[in-house]
Structure 1
Amino acid sequence: MVADRSLVKGSAYGICAGLCWGVIFLGPQLTPGLSGLQFAVLRFLCYGAISAVLLMPRWRRVCAHLTLADWTSLFWLSLIGNLIYYALVGTGVQLVGIATTSLIVGLIPVLVTLAGRHDVNAVSLRKLLPSLCCAVGGVVLISWHALITGDRPDTLTTIAGILCATGALVTWSWFAVSNARRLVQVASVSSHDWALLTGVMTGAQSLLLAAPVLGFQAGTHGSAEWLDFFLVAGGVALLSSVVGGACWNQASRLLPLALSGQVLVIETLAALVFGFSWAHRLPDAYETAAIALLVTGVLWCLNCHRPPLPCRQQSRRTPACRSKAR
């Protein structure tokens, strides 16, 4: 019963995180005057400021539990999982669009699930294979459809965009695995505070990059444009980084790594919904079929991770319960 509750609660947190993260693909589209790296720096400056304000009342108490190893982990998690990842996402979105980028990044659940297959209480790869095939099949189908039906730029731009999206896939897969394992080791710090600490670290890194990345373009945009940029970046930071990060950390503590990886497919679905809304259209038959495959894969994986019912709730005809009855 307790395991069932943790599964449901962790899945709910993971779904909330995925919904919040779906907007990260829309941010770069709303700020075409900035490069992917520039928008990433702006977003994480806002994230750092919000995190510092929220964490300030209990800063000393939270930091008292952290070791040098924890701070080192925060540095690399922030740099690779936030700054580098989102710079690659933003560049990919601007080069090849939301659909293609979000669908390549949508393979994150597959990589995270494979990385967690040897963890304690992990489900065997053979049992997970059908759900993984559904997820991969959905991503491949909708990626192929998006590439052959969209207005494609020149070949070099397409290749550059795909490489950026692939880099984002690798960097955030590493972040998801490393962050989940580090959270197990810092049980004295809450999931919410860990997300805020990550925000403070990312904000500090962004502050160092702000002058060289944003400074030389300060005069090329008017004050009204910069206000729009900050409003979009602040909205993405609050929803995706603060709320989404806290939900994801909580999900990482409640779910097995393989299952938390599968729940990440919600981010892809949310990004597609936002992308279709931005384009003012509904998904066609191919896109609907691909989305159905993705959802099927998640639900299948969720069922694989359900603990077996006690024998009193199962039929006595099952072999395991029959042997216990004897």
Structure 2
Amino acid sequence: MAIHPSMIKGLTCGVAAGSCWGVIFLGPALTPGLSGTQFALLRFLCYGLFSVVLLLPRWRKVCAGLTRADWVSLFWLSLIGNLFYYSLVGTGVQQVGVATTSLIVGLIPVLVALAGRRDANAVPMARLAPSLCCVTAGVALISFHALSQENPVGEAINSKLGLLCAAGALFSWSWYAVSNARRLAVAQVSAHDWALLTGVMTGAQSLLLAVPLLGADLHGYDTHTLINYWLVAAGVALLASVVGGALWNQASRLLPLALSGQVLVIETLAALLLGFLWEQRLPSALESMAILLLVTGVAWCLWCHQRRG
């Protein structure tokens, strides 16, 4: 049975978005002088600036199709799915490392699939169970490996804080993925414009928080360090927020919620790949087995939706 062209396009966009999002876990690691919240503000200030520049020529036309409910959704999606989520990710990365944080966040596909179990086009959970088990087992296996290999430096309370932040990021972005997909289903704007509108809203929120949370601290750094911070933030904003956000919105419109959730595993794989490259090593046998489980889970979910179609 051939896969429907819209599903192929949606999967391509979802995989590309996940690949772009892998860099978000490296950003906080490359800016150790900033807290997770401070780096999140820098990233989203850049995202807001990029979005304003790209959207300004069509601002009136795009806004004409928005309702009050759209603006309310944009406010909460930006606050919880961008600022709150990425502040938690950044803090988690700096406290317990890239691997542990990305692996805990890697359980997002399971929560999203569970949230979409009652949608009209949902595949029965009994058929999705093997896929979810593969994904869960893969994440658990890599998590066990990462935690058994790491020897965290510092007080135990920092590690607990990092784990709590990673768990908070897991739940906040799971909510975002579900809420964003359902709002996109009724919004009268393109997926690309919705991503830019989210950027404008997130940028405005970041601007309000920048003075109390960034102003005094940035004066304490030399020019070279500040330029490095801004370049890293701008790179993450452009690749993950502008490009990745537009690709993800397109995937959210074309794929069933449960399947789009499974595609989010690509983000975890991309983060792990970048981590291996950063550490200049190959994955171990245990890590390779876990990655195989993750890929198998996504492929199984695709097969279930193909049969459904």
With the length of structure 1 as denominator, give the TM-score of the two structures.
0.93
Counterpart of 2:71 in structure 1 is 71
Using the TM superposition, give the Cα deviation of residue 159 of structure 1 relative to its aligned residue in structure 2, in angstroms: 1.0
Instruction: Give, in whole Å, the separation in 2 of the partners of 1:280 and 1:151.
Output: 19
User: How big is each residue's C-alpha offset from its partner over 1:172-211, in whole Å with a ceiling of 9 and x where there is no partner?
Assistant: 000000000000111x200000000000000000000100
Counterpart of 1:168 in structure 2 is 169
Instruction: Give, in whole Å, the separation in 2 of the partners of 1:95 and 1:30.
Output: 13
Counterpart of 1:190 in structure 2 is 190
Counterpart of 2:292 in structure 1 is 292
With the length of structure 2 as denominator, give the TM-score of the two structures.
0.98
Counterpart of 1:263 in structure 2 is 263
What are the within-5 Å matches in structure 2 for residues 168-317 of structure 1? 168-186=169-187, 188-307=188-307
Counterpart of 1:58 in structure 2 is 58
Instruction: Give, in whole Å, the separation in 2 of the partners of 1:205 and 1:79.
Output: 7
Count of aligned positions: 308
Counterpart of 1:118 in structure 2 is 118
Using the TM superposition, give the Cα deviation of residue 8 of structure 1 relative to its aligned residue in structure 2, in angstroms: 0.8
Q: 1:193–1:2: structure 2 CA closer, same or farther, 3 Å change rule?
A: farther
User: How big is each residue's C-alpha offset from its partner over 1:60-109, in whole Å with a ceiling of 9 and x where there is no partner?
Assistant: 00001111111000000000000000000000000000000000000000
Task: Provide runs of 4+ in structure 1 moved above 4 Å.
Answer: none
Using the TM superposition, give the Cα deviation of residue 223 of structure 1 relative to its aligned residue in structure 2, in angstroms: 1.2
Instruction: Give, in whole Å, the separation in 1 of the partners of 2:3 and 2:277.
Output: 37
Instruction: Give, in whole Å, the separation in 1 of the partners of 2:34 and 2:237.
Output: 16
Does residue 149 of structure 2 align to residue 155 of structure 1?
no
Percent identical among aligned pairs is 68
The answer (yes or no) to whether the contact 2:96–2:163 under 8 Å persists in 1 is yes
The answer (yes or no) to whether the contact 1:3–1:307 under 8 Å persists in 2 is no
User: How big is each residue's C-alpha offset from its partner over 1:140-162, in whole Å with a ceiling of 9 and x where there is no partner?
Assistant: 11101110111223321111111
User: How big is each residue's C-alpha offset from its partner over 1:16-54, in whole Å with a ceiling of 9 and x where there is no partner?
Assistant: 000000000000011111100000000000000000000
Residue 220 of structure 1 aligns to a residue whose secondary structure is: coil
Counterpart of 1:13 in structure 2 is 13
Higher-Rg structure is: 1
Higher alpha-carbon deviation: 36-45 or 150-159: 150-159
Instruction: Give, in whole Å, the separation in 1 of the partners of 2:41 and 2:225.
Output: 16
Higher alpha-carbon deviation: 279-288 or 47-56: 279-288
Instruction: Give, in whole Å, the separation in 2 of the partners of 1:2 and 1:295.
Output: 20
Instruction: In structure 1, list runs of 5 or more residues that go unmatched.
Output: 310-326
The answer (yes or no) to whether the contact 1:96–1:152 under 8 Å persists in 2 is yes
Instruction: Give, in whole Å, the separation in 2 of the partners of 1:275 and 1:161.
Output: 18
